[in-house]
Structure 1
Amino acid sequence: MASNGIIDLSDANFETEVINSETPVLVDFWAPWCGPCRAIAPSVEEISASYEGRLKVGKLNVDENQQTTMKFGIRSIPTLIVFKGGQAVEQIIGA
């Protein structure tokens, strides 16, 4: 688990942590070289703290996890997607 209760997501654990989660999940698709991704990181951490127990928050590095990135058609980062019941229900692209 990353800092502040944020889950480090990967191709290997995405289905378990996100798709099969009974709790809604906010996924931050990001990359270390992405300036806007770093800019929104404090807001993502704040959301994680504010909704603890009601919303899981995870970060997926798009460079290291291309299978999941391609599956959800991520072409721009940062992209935030809310999953509920295994389905993407809301998406925000860009900072």
Structure 2
Amino acid sequence: MSVTLKDFYADWCGPCKTQDPILEELEEDWPDVDFEKVNVDEEQDVANEYQVRSLPTLVVENDDGVVERFVGVTQRDDLEDALQTAEA
């Protein structure tokens, strides 16, 4: 089962900068998860496809589709729970 965490962000987004260190830690601890950063200013079509309306938005996906989505700064525990669910 492949798992992806998509981080929808923008350079001007303050809360996105708060989210970054949490995601960087997760990326070190979850080597099997594919972490993708999606700049909504540059990739509006992808943001629209995922119906991103506010930032940051984090989407956890596996082979079956979207497992969980978070809007706003999300704590590590919540993200780890979603990753565990996605890998199951």
Asked if Structure 1 and Structure 2 have the same fold, meaning a TM-score greater than 0.5 normalized by the shorter chain, the answer is yes
How far did 1:56 drift? 1.0
Gaps of 5+ in 1: 1-21
Q: Work out the number of aligned pairs and report it.
A: 73
Match of 1:41 in 2: 20
Q: What is the aligned-residue RMSD (CA, Å)?
A: 1.0
2:4 corresponds to which of 4, 13, 25: 25
Q: TM-score w.r.t. structure 2 length?
A: 0.79
Percent same amino acid at aligned positions? 37
Q: Deviations over 1:23-67 (max 9, x none)?
A: 200010000000000111000111111001x21111000000000
Which protein has the bigger helix share? 2
Q: Amino acid of the residue matched to residue 31 of structure 1?
A: A
1:50 corresponds to which of 24, 29, 35: 29
Q: Amino acid of the residue matched to residue 42 of structure 2?
A: E
Q: TM-score w.r.t. structure 1 length?
A: 0.73
Gaps of 5+ in 2: 74-88
Q: Deviations over 1:56-85 (max 9, x none)?
A: 111000000000100110000000000100
SS of residue in 1 equivalent to 2:61: strand
